[in-house]
Structure 1
Amino acid sequence: MATRKQKQFLPGQGYTKADWDAVSDAPEATDEQLAEARPFAEAFPDLAEAARRFRGPQRTPTKVPVSIRLSLDVVEYFKAGGPGWQARIDAVLRQALAGKAGVKD
């Protein structure tokens, strides 16, 4: 088995010397253990799938976050339709804008 160089504590890396000392006695993985290692998605398929479900940041943002006060009944109506309620509000506002219904110039 090849020996691996012992890592040294470097300050300013997001942890303290006490943190380092608390885990520094963890044994290094052996060559046999590394040979038997499997990819995360293979070893934990459910967790890997759950991690894939979350969208990352938009490459070209097409929407901007805003704070808006709406009537409770309006919010409840759209939320009752399930996930995507904010997108449905956006669609209704776009329709109003296209038809200029209730939109002042």
Structure 2
Amino acid sequence: MNTDEEDAAITAAAMSDPDARPLTDAEWEAVKPRLRIGRPPAGKPLKVSTTIRFDADVLAALKASGPGWQTRVNDAMREYVAARR
């Protein structure tokens, strides 16, 4: 545990560095979490981890389409399932 003097020295050093300035209370209040913990909002289906095998060229093309490729595959499978109901 730091002494009051050590805390003051650490805070003074941080405050003097513009790249490492501590956030103010107001800035902390404005922080929005980037990670949702727990179940998805009501109405959104729960995601389930699974294993599926694709041909190597198909998987490479999907991944090459960029971030969000798994969501796009999920959306395509949802359309496929809905069309066959």
Q: Spell out structure 1 runs of 4+ moving beyond 4 A.
A: none
Structure with more contact order per residue of length (Cα contacts < 8 Å, sep ≥ 6): 1
Q: Which has the larger radius of gyration?
A: 1
Aligned residues: 65
Question: AA paired with 1:82?
Answer: G
> Structure 2 matches for 1:1-105, cutoff 5 A?
28-38=1-11, 42=22, 55-60=35-40, 62-100=46-84
Gaps of 5+ in 1: 1-27, 44-51
* 1:75 alignment partner AA: L
CA drift at 1:41: 7.7
Query: What code does the residue aligned with 2:4 have?
Result: D
Q: TM-score, normalised by structure 2?
A: 0.56
- Tell me the distance in 2 between the aligned counterparts of 1:58 and 1:41: 32
Deviation at 1:78, TM superposition (A): 1.1
Calculate the aligned-residue CA RMSD, in Å: 3.2
Percent of counterpart pairs with the same letter? 34
Report the Cα distance in structure 2 between the residues aligned to 1:72 and 1:62, rounded to whole angstroms: 28
